[in-house]
Structure 1
Amino acid sequence: MSPINSLWFKWKSLRLPWRRSFLVGHDLVGNTYWEFKDTLNAGRFRRIVKPQPKIHYSDVEVSPQWHQWLRYVRPQPPSIKEQQDDILRRKRILVLAEIQRKRWETGQSQFDTPGTQQPGPATRTSDTALSAGTEAENGNRARNTDETSQGSSPQAKTQSWDGAPAAKEDPFFKPRDVPGEKFQPESWTPTSSKR
């Protein structure tokens, strides 16, 4: 900050009796925070933020510390050191999150069986179709290895007990005891409770 700006801030922050508004502080972006006497409630000060003149009101960003001060959650305004520490804390969190993301992508989940690894998150619709196809292939390979390890031949699985070829599983098969789409539950009628 330039010496002229610091002198202006000191002059505006003086609580002189004829002044209506007092400068309380500023943030690292350049927004200034003010207090002024409320005309309806003389014992309470109102708190506002004045953004830089070149910034549109929709683009104003208020830090959480200053937001707490504006909402009377904290009585004292945050210092410049506290605001700088908060920015460093945010940068550290981003670095740690990136490290954890890389660890998650390269590492294996503890819930996976040994030899399998979770697929990464799907970012495009084509990824979901590809991952579904590879999961089906992996499932078929796993079934084939299970069958060969048990000593049964693949032909025995495709034939029924009478020697006829087994029917393929129908994806639209619904058991008969399951209610259909038009099922409506009966209305409930309360009865007196037994004592």
Structure 2
Amino acid sequence: MSPINSLWFKWKSLKLPWRKMFLVGNDLAGNTYWEFKDALKPGRFRRIVKASPKIHYADVKVSPQWHQWLRYVRPEAPTIEEQQHELLRQQRMKYLAQRADERWASKPSFLDTPQQQPPPALQSHEPSYHTTRPNAAGKEEATAGHNAVDTAEGLQEQGLDATGSKKVKNPWDRAVGGPSENWQPESWNPSVSKR
């Protein structure tokens, strides 16, 4: 603010007895806030805001502190230092919110599509695929990388499942074909009632 403007603001803010309107303060956007004597209520002052002539009326924004003063929520008008601290606080909050959004976006979400794993290899020549298995004599023998179909057939012959554990028979296999398997309801034949 230029020294001439600051002198003019100081002169307008003096509460001289012949004045009807007093300047209370200004905000960082250039709006000025005024008090004037209410004609209907002699002991009360009315509060208004005059927008900067450089700003269109639709673009005028009043800060929350000045809005509280206009609505008589706070008795004292906010100072320039208070408004600057509020502006710094808002910038700090926006920065922290941006950092929190970045941290949140970097974490995997349960809503994301799961990553597809490659299907298991049916045939491999890698050394990690070659395993040792006990033979019929109880000695371990190395098995070469062979086809998974041959392995499945060999496990079926030994009575083992795909994991190599003992195969358990399905108990529901015995229940198939019981006496109630072919049962059908008879047609309804009502009897004659006696009177």
Structure 1: which amino acid aligns with 2:16? Answer: L
Structure 1 consecutive aligned stretches of length 4 or more whose deviation exceeds 2 Å: none
More helix by share: 1
Residue 97 of structure 2 aligns with which residue? 97
Q: Structure 1: which 5+ runs fail to align?
A: 113-117, 120-134, 153-161, 163-195
1:151–1:80 distance in 2 versus 1, CA, 3 Å: farther
- Structure 1 CA distance for aligned equivalents of residues 162 and 90 of structure 2: 58
Residue 81 of structure 1 aligns with which residue? 81
Give the deviation of 1:108 after TM superposition.
Answer: 3.7
Give the deviation of 1:82 after TM superposition.
Answer: 0.3
Secondary structure at the counterpart of residue 77 of structure 2: coil
What does residue range 107-146 of structure 1 map to in structure 2 within 5 Å?
107-108=107-108, 112=110, 118-119=111-112, 135=113, 138=114
1:18–1:151 distance in 2 versus 1, CA, 3 Å: farther
Secondary structure at the counterpart of residue 55 of structure 1: coil
Secondary structure at the counterpart of residue 102 of structure 2: helix
Secondary structure at the counterpart of residue 67 of structure 2: helix
Give the deviation of 1:54 after TM superposition.
Answer: 2.2
Residue 185 of structure 1 aligns with which residue? none
After superposition, give the CA deviation of every residue in 1:30-86 in whole Å (9 maximum; x if it has no partner).
Answer: 000000000001111000000011212111000010000000000000010000000
Q: State, as a whole percentage, how many aligned pairs show the same letter.
A: 62
Residue 34 of structure 1 aligns with which residue? 34
> What is the root-mean-square deviation in Å for CA atoms of aligned residues?
2.5
Which of the two has higher C-alpha Rg?
A: 2
Secondary structure at the counterpart of residue 84 of structure 1: helix
- TM-score, normalization: structure 1? 0.58
Q: Structure 2: which 5+ runs fail to align?
A: 121-160, 164-175, 177-195
Structure 1: which amino acid aligns with 2:105? Answer: E
- TM-score, normalization: structure 2? 0.58
- Structure 2 CA distance for aligned equivalents of residues 151 and 108 of structure 1: 34
